[in-house]
Amino acid sequence: MAIKVKSEHLDKIRKHGEKIYPYECCGFLLGTFENGANVLREVYPADNEWNVSINEVQTLGESVPAASRSSATARSESHANRYWITAEQYQEADRYADSKKLRIIGYYHSHPDHPAQPSGYDFDHSCFANQSYLIVAIEKGRAADLNSFAKPDYTQFLPEEILVEDC
């Protein structure tokens, strides 16, 4: 699988990550699916609505339910290493995409001072099959690597080629 993008899309994602640093940024990828590839038409930023109450009720911490974690396995979860997009934001993005004759083709988020590779939490809370999952590493406030992944059969992330087409 591949995702076709323009440089301006990648720049917008990188700038969002730098602006929000040291916290995780997040957002939607809006576009179409054409000839076996996602085609990104618009980056739609979201607010990271992570809060401490999510820690108490959701599955967190590298695939260990919060209620099941001991203090030895607990990790300090915050805006710096987690993001949360609410159902209301999803509905708003979906309505906006529909108004533009687009659809949600994936999501993006940043990893502050961490590699642009999916974590166990990302795997558990990530996209559906055929969606793209972009992760940008933000190192000391500056955008670094940006990678895309797909989860075609829900069992693993596979690297996804990013095709930059500025024509």
One DSSP character per residue, 81-111 reads T-----HHHHHHHHHHHHHTT-EEEEEEEEE
Other C-beta atoms within 10 Å of 91: how many? 10
Q: Where are the domains of the chain?
A: 2-147
pLDDT given at position 116: 97
Any idea what DSSP says for residue 13? H
Residues 115-129, buried b or exposed e (16+ Cβ, 10 A)? Answer: ebebbebbbbbbbee
Residues 14-46, buried b or exposed e (16+ Cβ, 10 A)? Answer: bebbbebbebbbbbbbbbeeeeebbbbbebbbb
pLDDT given at position 79: 58
pLDDT given at position 22: 95
pLDDT given at position 74: 42
Question: Which CATH architecture describes the domain 2-147?
Answer: 3-Layer(aba) Sandwich (3.40)
pLDDT given at position 81: 75
Question: Across the strands, what pairs with 5?
Answer: 164
pLDDT tens, the chain, 167 aa long: 899 999 999 999 999 999 999 999 999 999 999 999 999 999 999 999 877 666 554 544 444 444 444 443 345 766 577 787 888 999 999 999 999 999 999 999 999 999 999 988 888 877 688 899 999 999 999 999 999 999 888 788 899 999 999 76
Instruction: Tell me which H or E stretch contains 52.
Output: helix 52-57
pLDDT in tens, 47-90: 998 776 665 545 444 444 444 444 433 457 665 777 878 889 99
Question: Across the strands, what pairs with 29?
Answer: 43, 106
Question: Across the strands, what pairs with 150?
Answer: 158
Q: What are 96's two structure tokens?
A: 């906006």
pLDDT given at position 84: 79
pTM: 0.86
pLDDT given at position 107: 96
Q: What three-state secondary structure class fits 167?
A: coil
Q: What are 74's two structure tokens?
A: 């607990």
